Structures are given as C-alpha cells and as structure tokens.
C-alpha cells in the first residue's frame, strides 16, 4: 500500500491505539506519543513483583458491553476470559450487601422478607420521595429509593468521591446506577458481553499497536512543534491543557491508588468492595479474585484501595470530569470545542479530549467510528 503521509496520535490509551491501528491499516504512517512510560492509558495492567499477581495500576477495569462490533474488533487482538463482575458494599456494622441495590440489599438493610419484584417495587415506592422533575442527583435518587438508602449507599460515597453533595450534582451522574427488583447481583447484567482480556489490557493494546505503520514514543509529552508536517493530529490529551487553560480549567476528580499486601481473607469471594463509611477510602479491589490475575504463591493478597481527591492534588491525573448541576463545565467544554474547530488538522478524541466519562467500549466504539469517518472524508 502506498504511504499516505504522517499522522500524530497523542496518547497510547484505547482511543489513541484504535485510531492508530485503523489509520495505519489504511496506509498512513502513525506516530503515537504518550507522556507516560507505558502504553494502555488508564487501563494499564502489570504484574506485582512480590506476589506475581496482575493488577491494574489505575483501578479495576472491567470490560462489559452490548456492542458486538467492538468485541469482534478487539477479538482480533486478544482472547478472553469470562467474568461477571459483582460488588459488595461494606456496612458500618460489618455486614456486606450487594451493589447495585437489589432485593437482598433491601431485605438486609430493612430486615424485610420481600421475595418478588412486585413486593420490592411496592416497598421502594413507599420509601420514594416524589419529584416530578428531579433537579439534581439527590432528587433523582430520593425519587427512586427514598432518603435512607440514598444517604447510606450514595450520599456518603458521593461526598468522598466528588467532594460534593448529591444536591450539587447533575442527575445524569447517578442515572447510570441501576436499581434491581430481583436477586440479580451482577454489576452489568444488561451487557451481553462481560469478560477480561486473557493476557491483560497492556498486552491487548500492545497487539493493537503492533503494526509496521505505527511507531510509539513513550515518556514523550506533546509539544505543538510536533504537529509540523503531519497530515492530521488526533489527540487524547485534555482539551483545556492544549489551549493553555485559556478559558479556565475543566476540572476532574482523581484517585490516589494505595497498593498494599495483606493476608488473604478467605471469606471475601468478590473482587471489589465499596465502603459506605465516612472515611477517605471509596473502594477496595482484591486482584487475585479476578480470573487470569493469578496468585502463584497463594501467600498474600495484593489489594488496592482508592482514595479520591482533586486532580491538582494528584499530579493533574484526570479521571472523572466534574459534572455540576449548574452545567458550568459542560458549557466551558463547548467553548473549548469551538476553539478546537478553528484549529487546522486537529481532532480531540477519547475521555479527556472530549471531557466525558467513557467506558472502554464506548471509547473504542467512538474511536473506530471517528477514524473511519475521517478516512471517508479524505477519500472524497
Ligand atoms: C478509576 C477508573 C476505573 C475505570 N474502570 C473502568 C471499567 O471498569 N470499565 C471500563 O470500560 N472503563 C473503565 N474506566 C474508563 C477507562 O479508563 C477509559 O474508558 C479509557 O481509559 C479511555 O481511554 P482514552 O484513550 O480515552 O484515555 P486514557 O486511557 O486516559 O489515555 C490517554 C493517554 O493520553 C496520554 N496523554 C495525556 N496528555 C498527554 C500529553 N500532553 N502528551 C502525551 N500524552 C498525553 C496519557 O498519558 C494517557 O496514557 C475507568 C477509568 C478510571 C479512571
């Protein structure tokens, strides 16, 4: 295939890797840079030297999707291990209850004996505080599950996660949290595909980037001079950062990950526990309980605890865009997007490029569609 010119891709996470592969297969020479010393972005996983357990440096990444086309595309680069994710919330009295809220959660918290969907629905309706048009996340949750469950399972968690009250947050942030009226305790039952890449995410992204048309430079922060003589730049860097914060920052919540070794608790059979207390930690992951993550010695568990913080207190590590009920940052992002439109030969991609929380399947889906659309436009 004749070479069509150079493309710069900023970021070796899923967004950058999918663009790079799609454009390289179409005959472009793609240069991928990343400021980190590794590929795979926030999905990066590695093996712990002490225990041999695989862990995800930036918190547990569970692959789940409805999108068969995404699974088919990724399956060119990985085999899979089936895995259905389950989460328990630790209550202050030491009991564990299923999350998302299901029949067992309600029976356990309220000491009821509900045993079918109609009974659960009726019970929650009794608890619910009607809000015709929920103005924020608090209204929304109270209108679904009442004040007590809202406070216990969501308000405290939200305060430590976002440093905001539910009343200050947009309802969209909590709308993606399902409430179940049955015994189903799977975290993602709506998604037909739930699995983990057999050899991990880093190996998967490595395979995507393994193409003769792609070069990867790590520990390489973006500089504007790099755009010289490239046909196009696709950038997954933060859009406000690209413009030197000209319109003010687009804030993010971040997380400090504390990776610790501890004796294995044989009673814990689920990988992720959420904390409902008022302490600083939101959740804990026991890696050896994820398939393929191994525990060759069996001696100790590697556990990761997550402590949310402002991204300015964590080396500007941007994880979750802050969505306030007044929409101020969404408006600011739109203004940055207008600025980006004036830039020649540049497209912002991925999570931080588009200031959205996106799961991996969404990023991959958007990136496949975006790269193919761009190729179609070039062919016109
Ligand atoms: C704690 C946490 C848990 C998550 N759990 C899940 C989950 O269970 N399931 C799921 O589907 N998704 C999960 N996600 C979302 C998932 O991480 C994202 O969908 C995915 O990482 C997005 O890929 P991306 O390429 O857009 O961004 P990233 O993975 O963030 O990659 C962007 C890359 O760009 C690089 N970069 C940024 N700025 C520059 C610059 N100026 N110069 C050079 N390089 C730069 C960064 O170093 C980074 O490597 C989770 C996210 C977080 C934060």
Domain contains 282: no
pLDDT value at residue 175: 84
The angle at the Cα of 82, spanning 303 to 180, to the nearest 5 degrees, equals 80
Domain contains 237: yes
Asked whether the predicted pLDDT for residue 6 surpasses 80, the reply is yes
User: What beta strand segments (E) does the chain contain?
Assistant: 6-10, 29-33, 45-47, 54-56, 63-65, 80-82, 87-90, 96-99, 193-197, 214-217, 232-235, 252-263, 272-275, 283-286, 300-310, 320-321, 346-348
Q: Same domain for 240 and 346? A: yes
Helix axes 137-149, 103-110, angle to 10 degrees: 50
pLDDT value at residue 300: 85
- CA 317 – ligand 1 centroid, Å: 10
The enclosing domain of 343 has a CATH number of 3.40.50.720
Q: Same domain for 123 and 246? A: no
Ligand 1 neighbourhood includes 365 CB (under 6 angstroms): no
Task: Look over the chain and give the mean of its residue pLDDT values, rounded to a whole number.
Answer: 94
pLDDT value at residue 266: 72
Q: Same domain for 114 and 217? A: no
Q: Same domain for 239 and 109? A: no
Asked whether the predicted pLDDT for residue 172 surpasses 90, the reply is no
Give the pLDDT band (50/70/90) at residue 2. Answer: low
Picking from 204, 135, 193, 130, the residue whose alpha carbon sits closest to that of residue 169 is: 135
**Residue range 74-101: average pLDDT?**
94
Give the pLDDT band (50/70/90) at residue 221. Answer: very high
Give dist(CA 318, CA 250) in Å, integer. Answer: 10
Domain contains 70: no
Domain contains 291: no
Give the pLDDT band (50/70/90) at residue 240. Answer: very high
Please give the radius of gyration of the chain, using alpha carbons only, rounded to the nearest integer: 22
User: What beta strand segments (E) does 164-213 contain?
Assistant: 193-197
Give dist(CA 164, CA 176) in Å, integer. Answer: 18
Domain contains 345: yes
CA of residue 128 relative to chain centroid, distance: 30
- Protein residue with its CA nearest to atom 7 in ligand 1: 61
Q: What number of residues does the chain have?
A: 380
Domain contains 63: no
Q: Same domain for 374 and 327? A: yes
Three-state DSSP at 290 gives coil
Q: Same domain for 24 and 164? A: no
Q: Same domain for 22 and 168? A: no
Picking from 188, 203, 196, the residue whose alpha carbon sits closest to that of residue 293 is: 196
Residue 255 near residue 309, CB atoms below 8 Å: yes
Q: Same domain for 209 and 171? A: no
Ligand 1 neighbourhood includes 43 CB (under 6 angstroms): yes
Give the pLDDT band (50/70/90) at residue 177. Answer: confident
Give the pLDDT band (50/70/90) at residue 128. Answer: very high
Q: Same domain for 171 and 204? A: no
Q: Same domain for 115 and 227? A: no
- Protein residue with its CA nearest to atom 14 in ligand 1: 359
- CA 139 – ligand 1 centroid, Å: 31
pLDDT value at residue 162: 86
Q: Same domain for 11 and 113? A: no
- Protein residue with its CA nearest to atom 48 in ligand 1: 41
**Residue range 247-268: average pLDDT?**
92
- CA 150 – ligand 1 centroid, Å: 29
Q: Same domain for 229 and 370? A: yes
Q: Which domain holds residue 118?
A: 102-175
Domain contains 256: no
Helix axes 117-127, 103-110, angle to 10 degrees: 50
- CA 42 – ligand 1 centroid, Å: 4
Strands 6-10, 29-33: pairing is parallel
DSSP state of 286: E
Sheet holding 232-235, edge to edge: 214-217, 29-33, 6-10, 232-235, 346-348
Lowest pLDDT segment from 38-42, 79-83, 293-297, 339-343: 293-297
**Residue range 84-102: average pLDDT?**
92
pLDDT value at residue 367: 98
DSSP 231-284: SEEEE-S-HHHHTTTTT----EEEEEEEEEEEE--TT--SSEEEE-SSSS--EE
- Protein residue with its CA nearest to atom 10 in ligand 1: 359
Domain contains 186: no
Pocket-testing residue among 67, 360, 367, 371, ligand 1, by greatest number of atoms within 8 A of Cβ = 360
- How many CA atoms, within 13 angstroms, populate the side-chain half-sphere of residue 162? 21
Lowest pLDDT segment from 27-41, 164-178, 287-301: 164-178
Q: Which of left, alpha, beta for 127 (phi over 0: left; psi -120 to 50: alpha)?
A: alpha
- Protein residue with its CA nearest to atom 26 in ligand 1: 350
- Protein residue with its CA nearest to atom 20 in ligand 1: 360
Q: Phi/psi at 331 (nearest 5 deg)? A: -65, -45
Q: Number of structural domains, the chain?
A: 2
Asked whether the predicted pLDDT for residue 244 surpasses 90, the reply is yes
């Amino acid at each position: 295939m004749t070479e069509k010119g150079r493309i710069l891709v900023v970021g070796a996470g899923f967004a950058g890797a999918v663009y790079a592969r799609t454009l390289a297969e179409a005959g472009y020479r793609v240069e991928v840079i990343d400021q980190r010393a590794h590929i795979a972005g926030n999905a990066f996983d590695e093996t712990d030297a002490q225990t041999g357990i695989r862990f995800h440096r930036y918190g547990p990444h569970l692959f789940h999707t409805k999108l068969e086309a995404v699974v088919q595309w990724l399956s060119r680069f990985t085999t899979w291990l089936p895995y259905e994710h389950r989460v328990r919330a630790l209550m202050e009295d030491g009991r564990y209850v299923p999350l998302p809220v299901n029949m067992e959660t309600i029976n356990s918290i309220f000491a009821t004996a509900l045993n079918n969907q109609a009974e659960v629905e009726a019970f929650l309706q009794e608890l619910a505080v009607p809000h015709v048009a929920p103005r924020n996340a608090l209204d929304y949750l109270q209108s679904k599950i009442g004040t007590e469950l809202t406070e216990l399972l969501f308000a405290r968690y939200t305060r430590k996660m976002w440093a905001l009250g539910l009343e200050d947050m947009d309802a969209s942030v909590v709308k993606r949290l399902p409430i179940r009226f049955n015994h189903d305790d799977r975290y993602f039952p709506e998604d037909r595909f739930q699995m983990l890449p057999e050899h991990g995410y880093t190996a998967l992204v490595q395979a995507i980037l393994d193409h003769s048309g792609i070069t990867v430079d790590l520990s390489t922060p973006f500089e504007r001079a790099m755009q010289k003589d490239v046909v196009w730049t696709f950038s997954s860097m933060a859009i406000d950062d690209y413009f030197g914060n000209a319109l003010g920052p687009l804030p993010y919540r971040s997380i400090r990950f504390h990776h610790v070794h501890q004796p294995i608790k044989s009673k814990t059979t689920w990988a992720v526990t959420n904390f409902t207390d008022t302490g600083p930690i939101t959740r804990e992951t026991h890696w050896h309980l994820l398939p393929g993550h191994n525990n060759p010695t069996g001696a100790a568990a590697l556990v990761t605890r997550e402590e949310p913080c402002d991204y300015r207190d964590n080396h500007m590590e941007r994880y979750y865009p802050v969505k306030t009920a007044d929409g101020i940052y969404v408006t600011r992002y739109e203004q940055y997007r207008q600025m980006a439109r004036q830039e020649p030969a540049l497209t912002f991609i991925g999570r931080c490029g588009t200031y959205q929380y996106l799961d991996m399947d969404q990023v991959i889906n958007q990136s496949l569609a975006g790269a193919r659309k761009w190729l179609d436009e070039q062919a016109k």
